[in-house]
Structure 1
Amino acid sequence: MPRPSTLSPTIKRVLEGELCTGCGLCAGISNGSIVMETVAPGYARPLQSAPIADETESIIASTCPGNVVEPWPAGANTHPYWGGWRQILTGAATDDEVCHEGSSGGVISALLIHALETGVVDRVLHIAADPTDPTRNVTATSRTREDVLARAGSRYTASSPLQAIETALAEGGAFAFVGKPCDVSALRRLARSDPRVEQHVPLAISFFCGGIPSHDGVGRILAALGVDAEAVREFRFRGRGWPGNCVAVTDEGSASMTYAESWGGHLSKEVQFRCKICPDAVGGVADIACADAWYGDDAGYPSFAEQEGRSLIISRTESGERMLNAAIQADAVRVAPLAVGEVEKMQPSQARRKRLVLARTAALPILLQPRPKMAGLRVAEAARRSPVGESLRNLVGTLRRTLTGARSRL
C-alpha cells in the first residue's frame, strides 16, 4: 500500500541533514514518483511528487548512501584508508588514444573497452556530458569503443547514474557500471533486495572521489575564463593529457586553465557537505577502483605538472581481479606492482579526509543532526592516526559551521 505521507521519511531525513549524494537510486526504483532535480547551488536532489509503497521506502532506507554506507568486505588485506585489495598496481592503457583521452592513464576506459570487446558485458552504464549543456552530466549507455572514448574523462559536477538502474536491469544482458563510490555502495545494497543486480552487473568500477562540486563551481571557472555559459559547445574538466587542462570550447575558439587552477581554485570550494564526511571515497566496494597515481614534488606533495598518464589500480574482488588480469594478459593495460604504503604519497588528501571522518561526524548528534550509518568502514581505526589537535579543530569546525549553516565550507 502507498505511504500516506507525500515525502519518504528517509529522503526527508537525508535532505534535512544535507546527506544526499545525488546518486539517483531513490528515483530509479520509485516508478516515477521521485525524480532528480537540480537545486541551488547546483546539486542533484530527489523530488517526490507521489506516494511510494512501503516496500519501496524500505529499499530506499536500506540503500541510500546518505542513510547507510555499504561496509567493506572483511579480509586480510584491508587498510583503514584504502579498503580491501587483492592487487595494487600502477599502470596505463597501452593504446595511446585511450591513454590520452582518459583523466589519468586511461585504465578505466581500457578496462571497459576490453570488457565490451571480449563479451564480458554488452554495454556500460556511466556518466557523460549533457549534449544540450556540456557543462552538466547525463546518464549514458555505451556499447562500443567509440562510445567509451567519446565519454572518457572526469566529470566534476552533479551526476545521478542510478536514476536509470531499473531501466538497465529490466533490459537484461550484462552491463558494467561506473560510478562514484557512493553510487557503487547504493548498487551493492540494492543487490541485497534485488537479485537482478548480481545477475546483470558483472563489473562495477569506481574511482577515488574528491567530492561532488556544485554546478556553481563550473560557473566560477567560466567566469574566470571570461566565457558565456550559453556559448559553450564542449566542456572538459580534464583529460587529453595528465592531468590535462579544463577546457571550454565555443564557436569562437577555446579557453582553458590548468587542473590545479580549476580544481584547487574553484571546484574544490563548492563540494557538498556529504562528501566532506564520506567514509568510503575510495570505491571500497567496487570490483576495481582507480585513481590518479600522482608523482610527488620536491616537498613530497603530489605534482600536477603535465606528465605521461599513470593510474593507480586496485582490484578488490575475485571477479575484479579476474577482469583486470585478463586485460593485462591481452595487453590492454600495462602495469607495475605498488606497495600499499606508497598509496598515501599519491593520495594524501584522501588519507587526511578519512582520518577526520570520525571527528566531523561526531559533531552531528551533538546538534541533533543525522549522520550516515558507517559500520565496517574502519573509521575509528583511521581516526586514531589523526593528530589530536587536527581532530579537535575539525570537531569544533563542524559544530560551528553546522550552527551557522556553512557546512560545505569545511
Structure 2
Amino acid sequence: MVIVGWIIVACSARWPRRNKSPRYRYKVEVKMLSVEEVVRSNLCLGCGACANLPEVTMKLNERGFARPSRPQVAQSAPQPELEAICSGYSVEQDAVDRPYDDVWGPILDIWTGNSTDAEVRYRGSSGGVLSQIAIDLIESKAVDFVVHTQADPDEPLGNVTSPSFDRKGILAGAGSRYAPSSPLAKLNVYLETGKKFVFIGKPCDVVALRRMARIDPRIDLQVPYMLSFFCAGVPSRFGALAVLKKLEVEAAEVSKFEFRGRGWPGLTRATRFDGSEATMDYNSSWGTVLSRNLQFRCKICPDGTGEFADIVCADAWYGKDGYPDFAERDGRSLVIVRTARGQALLADLTHKGRVELEPLRVGEIELMQPYQRDRKRAVLARLGALVAGRRKLPNYRNLRLSALTWRSNPLWLLKNALGTFRRLPSTPPGS
C-alpha cells in the first residue's frame, strides 16, 4: 500500500513541467475547514493564527503541543477564513520577482557573519544577527516594538510571545526556544495598537502571517519586516521534560531553563532555585532528546528555511565530511536575504557597522545545513506515505518539490516513504 502511494506522488512529481519558471498566482480554494479538522488530520503547527478567529484559543494538549480549542457547541463548524490563513494546511510560494533555488527558496544575497556587539553575539543562538537587526530597528525608531518568543517567566520550560521595546528586552529573549509557541495568537492585540512592529517567528509562523496579510491590510502597513530562522521542527513540552530527566533535575526545582545560547552553540542549562546548574551539550540535548519529540506536521514540512521571510538566519556550522561538528566557537550566522526590503535593511546595518558579513556561495549552504537540504527533498515521498495511509494531504504549491524529487535517489525516497508510513500517528489524534 505504501509503495502504491509513493509511486502516485513520485510519478506526479516527475511529470514534465510545461513552464519551468511559472508565474505564480495566489488563489484561495473554496474549502470550508474547521480547526478541529486541521488538528484531527495532524496538519496543525500550533502557530496561533486561527486564535484570531472568534472563540478560538490556544492550549497545550495531552501530548504537549500547542493546539487550537473551541467551545463544545462551536466544534466542527467550518470557518471560511481558516483556509486562507492556515499554514499547516497550505503553503504556496507566489514570488516571481526573485531568483529561486529549488532547495533554499528565494535568494537575493547570502552571507555569513555576526553582530559586532560582543554581548549580542554571545547571547544569540549563533552570531546574533537577528537580535542585532531587532535592536537596531528599535533604536532607529523604524518600528515601535518587536514581537518575539521567549521563556515564560511563570513556567521556565515553556514559551511566551510578547513585545519588547528596547535592547534589554530583546536580549532577554535571545537564544533558541525548542518548545511549543504560538506567536500569532495575539496578533490582533498588536495590530490594534496602530503601531509598527517587527515580527520574528518560525518559518510556518511567517507563512501564516503572509497569508493573513492578504485578508488584513493592517499587516503590510504595521509589520514592515518579517524575520525568521531555520527550523528543524517543534518538540513537545515532554521533550524538555526528557532533557531534565537526563540531567537528573526535577521540574519543580527549575527557576530558569535555557535550550541554548551564551556561546555557540551554547549549553542547555537548567538553573535551580538555589543557583546551581545542570548542563548538557547541544548535540546531546537536540540530537538525542528534543529531535525525537517533534510534532508530525514538522516531519512533512516543505519550508524549514523561512522562504517567506525578508531575512532568515541560521547556524553557519563548521564541520567536515559533510556534517557539522558543533564545537564551541564564537557565534557565526548564516544570513539569507529574500526580499528587496530585507536587502536594504541589512545594507544599512552593514553601513553602520552593526554587523560584519562575508559573501557565501549557495552551494556551501548544504555543508552547514545538510538536514535542511535533505528535508525538503524528502517531502513528496513522505506525502506518499500519507496517500497510502489514506490521510488528508496538505496543499503545497510552487515550492519546486517535483524538481527535487526528480533529482533524488529513488531508493532513498522509498526509505523516507516507508519510515513515514510506519510513524503515521493514530487518527483522530490530539497531536
Q: TM-score range by the shorter chain?
A: over 0.9
Residue deviations 1:277-332 (CA, integer Å, cap 9, x gap): 101110001000000000113x3311101011100001111111111111111111
Q: Is the 8 A contact 1:13 1:370 kept in 2?
A: no
Q: Is the 8 A contact 1:70 1:189 kept in 2?
A: no
1:262 matched to 2:285 = yes
Q: Is the 8 A contact 2:143 2:197 kept in 1?
A: yes
Aligned to 1:300: 322
C-alpha distance in 2 between matches for 1:401 and 1:275: 13
Residue deviations 1:340-364 (CA, integer Å, cap 9, x gap): 0100000000011111000001221
| TM superposition shift of 1:401 | 2.5
1:114 matched to 2:133 = no
C-alpha distance in 1 between matches for 2:137 and 2:98: 28
1:188 matched to 2:210 = yes
From 262, 273, 276, the counterpart of 1:251: 273
Q: Is the 8 A contact 2:36 2:76 kept in 1?
A: no
C-alpha distance in 2 between matches for 1:182 and 1:391: 24
Aligned to 1:281: 304
C-alpha distance in 2 between matches for 1:180 and 1:294: 19
C-alpha distance in 1 between matches for 2:412 and 2:76: 45
C-alpha distance in 2 between matches for 1:190 and 1:257: 39
Residue identity matched to 1:142: S
| TM superposition shift of 1:134 | 1.2
Residue identity matched to 1:99: R
1:240 matched to 2:271 = no
C-alpha distance in 2 between matches for 1:163 and 1:374: 23
Change (3 A) 1:319 1:403: closer
Q: Which has the higher contact order (CA 8 A, sep 6+)?
A: 2
Q: Which segment is superposed worse, 262-271 or 375-384?
A: 375-384
Residue identity matched to 2:305: V
Residue deviations 1:226-251 (CA, integer Å, cap 9, x gap): 11101111111001000000000012
Residue identity matched to 2:125: S
- Report the TM-score, using the length of structure 1 for normalisation: 0.93
C-alpha distance in 1 between matches for 2:332 and 2:272: 30
Change (3 A) 1:72 1:85: farther
Q: Is the 8 A contact 1:354 1:383 kept in 2?
A: no
Aligned to 2:87: 65
C-alpha distance in 1 between matches for 2:160 and 2:234: 15
C-alpha distance in 2 between matches for 1:138 and 1:294: 28
Please give the secondary structure, in 1, of the residue aligned with 2:263: coil
Q: How does 1:4-403 map to 2 (within 5 A)?
A: 9-27=33-51, 29-31=52-54, 33-49=55-71, 51=74, 57-71=79-93, 73-75=95-97, 77-252=99-274, 253-297=276-320, 299-402=321-424
Residue identity matched to 1:59: E
| TM superposition shift of 1:399 | 2.4
| TM superposition shift of 1:393 | 1.3
C-alpha distance in 1 between matches for 2:164 and 2:382: 38
Change (3 A) 1:12 1:406: closer
C-alpha distance in 2 between matches for 1:195 and 1:43: 30
The number of residues matched between the two structures is 397
Residue deviations 1:187-221 (CA, integer Å, cap 9, x gap): 00001100000000000000100100001100110
Q: Is the 8 A contact 2:40 2:428 kept in 1?
A: no
Across the aligned residues of Structure 1 and Structure 2, the Cα RMSD in angstroms comes to 2.0
C-alpha distance in 1 between matches for 2:423 and 2:267: 33
Please give the secondary structure, in 1, of the residue aligned with 2:67: strand
| TM superposition shift of 1:58 | 2.0
C-alpha distance in 2 between matches for 1:283 and 1:172: 26
Q: What stretches of structure 1 move > 4 A for 4+ residues in a row?
A: 403-408
Unaligned runs of 5+ in 2: 1-31
Residue identity matched to 1:179: G
| TM superposition shift of 1:57 | 1.9
Residue deviations 1:345-394 (CA, integer Å, cap 9, x gap): 00000011111000001221333211211101111112223211110111
Residue identity matched to 1:281: G
Residue deviations 1:48-84 (CA, integer Å, cap 9, x gap): 1264999x92221111111111315124521111101
C-alpha distance in 2 between matches for 1:293 and 1:140: 28
Please give the secondary structure, in 2, of the residue aligned with 1:157: coil
Unaligned runs of 5+ in 1: 1-7
Q: Percent identity?
A: 45
Q: Is the 8 A contact 1:273 1:407 kept in 2?
A: no
C-alpha distance in 2 between matches for 1:385 and 1:211: 25
| TM superposition shift of 1:85 | 1.0
Residue identity matched to 1:43: F
Residue deviations 1:126-180 (CA, integer Å, cap 9, x gap): 1010001111001110000110001100000000000010001111111000000
C-alpha distance in 2 between matches for 1:315 and 1:19: 28
